[in-house]
């Protein structure tokens, strides 16, 4: 990866990855998005963001000690400003279009190097583990951030339940592939379906969360319903949405952004203010809802994960 001192530019000045990867695909999506925006605007009182009252409350949610003492972003921020390219490349597209995605019935295939491979129903999984609320910083590679009250359970609990074998060194995750409902998958902006991965020790870290809700309610579709990953010390694209498969592997799995542009998106993707993205600085960030930019923290402020990378060159293994 090219490491250099980049200027402290505003997020608005960044040339987005979608332009860089596939300009023609972006133009098709942008034109469609503009027409759809006009159509929505023509209908009085048609909100882009489903109000929190419309989401089902999650029962018996406990507070967690894994919480930051910072002001939460609003529900409108969290549900209205998203990256979910399966529904389009603009930040408002997921809120505008993701409501078409069907989230029941929903099964998650767990396979690979584990003792209990099977297709697991999401509603059965929710009965296995107690839910807790965790308020995490969430940092996007595009240099913006939020503070989000997720609801979920530790990924480690699920990993231990399915008993990975000695061959399991990594975990690969796959997003739903359904172009009839996720029209962004019709354009080759990325290699579909979307995939991500973690080392097994990263997956087992107590901070790593499988989220099923936000603000005490079920996840809206645009936030990755009904099941998504949250890895708070890594850039947001590592926190894969709408998971349908979890596979244990012996070798490092392919990941969507790394396949599309390995120079800019490495496998680890830890928040590291000392390693610039080749086209913008990572040393500062814009918290959504704030005017001034703030200093980016190493590992997004989650210093307890530093031991996972002891002895590694985090500029080389970006």
pLDDT digits (tens, 9 = 90+) for 189-200: 999 999 999 999
Percent of the chain with pLDDT over 70: 83
Could you say which architecture CATH assigns to the domain 11-309? Answer: Alpha-Beta Complex (3.90)
Instruction: Report how far Cα 237 is from the mean position of its chain's Cα atoms.
Output: 5
Compare 184 and 40 and report the one with higher pLDDT: 184
Residue 275 has pLDDT above 80, yes or no: yes
The pLDDT of residue 5 is above 90: no
Q: What is the mean pLDDT of residues 288-306?
A: 97
Rounded-to-integer distance, Cα 80 and Cα 302, Å: 26
214/72 Cα distance (integer angstroms): 11
* pTM more than 0.95: no
pLDDT of res. 50: 60
Residue 54: pLDDT band (50, 70, 90) is confident
Residue among 263, 260, 288 nearest 277 (CA): 263
pLDDT tens digits for range 199-222: 999 999 999 999 999 999 999 999
Residue 51 has what pLDDT?
A: 65
pLDDT category at 48 given cuts 50, 70, 90 is: low
């Amino acid at each position: 990866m090219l490491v250099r001192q980049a200027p402290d530019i505003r997020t608005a000045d960044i040339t987005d990855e979608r332009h860089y990867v596939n300009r023609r695909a972006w133009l098709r999506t942008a034109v469609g998005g503009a027409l759809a925006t006009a159509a929505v605007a023509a209908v009085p009182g048609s909100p882009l963001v489903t109000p929190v009252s419309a989401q089902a409350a999650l029962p018996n949610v406990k507070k967690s000690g894994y919480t930051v003492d910072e002001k939460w972003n609003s529900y409108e921020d969290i549900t209205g400003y998203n990256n979910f390219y399966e529904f389009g490349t603009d930040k408002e597209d997921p809120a505008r279009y993701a409501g078409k995605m069907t989230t029941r019935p929903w099964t998650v295939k767990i396979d690979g190097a584990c003792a209990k491979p099977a297709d697991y129903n999401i509603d059965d999984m929710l009965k296995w583990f107690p839910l807790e609320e965790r308020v995490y910083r969430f940092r996007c590679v595009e240099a913006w951030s939020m503070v989000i009250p997720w609801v979920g359970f530790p990924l480690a609990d699920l990993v231990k339940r399915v008993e990975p074998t000695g061959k399991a060194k990594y975990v690969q995750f796959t997003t739903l592939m359904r172009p009839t409902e996720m029209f962004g998958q019709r354009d080759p902006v990325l290699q579909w379906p979307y995939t991500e991965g973690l080392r097994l020790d990263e997956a087992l870290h107590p901070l790593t969360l499988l989220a099923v809700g936000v603000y005490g309610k079920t996840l809206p579709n645009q936030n990755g319903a009904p099941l998504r990953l949250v890895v708070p010390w890594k850039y947001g694209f590592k926190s894969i949405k709408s998971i349908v498969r979890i596979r244990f592997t012996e070798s490092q799995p392919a990941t969507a952004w790394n396949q599309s542009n390995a120079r800019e998106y490495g496998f680890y993707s830890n928040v590291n203010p000392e390693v610039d993205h080749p086209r913008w600085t990572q040393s500062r960030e814009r918290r959504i809802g704030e005017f001034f930019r703030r200093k980016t923290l190493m590992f997004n402020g989650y210093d307890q994960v530093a031991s996972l990378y002891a002895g590694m060159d985090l500029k080389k293994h970006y």
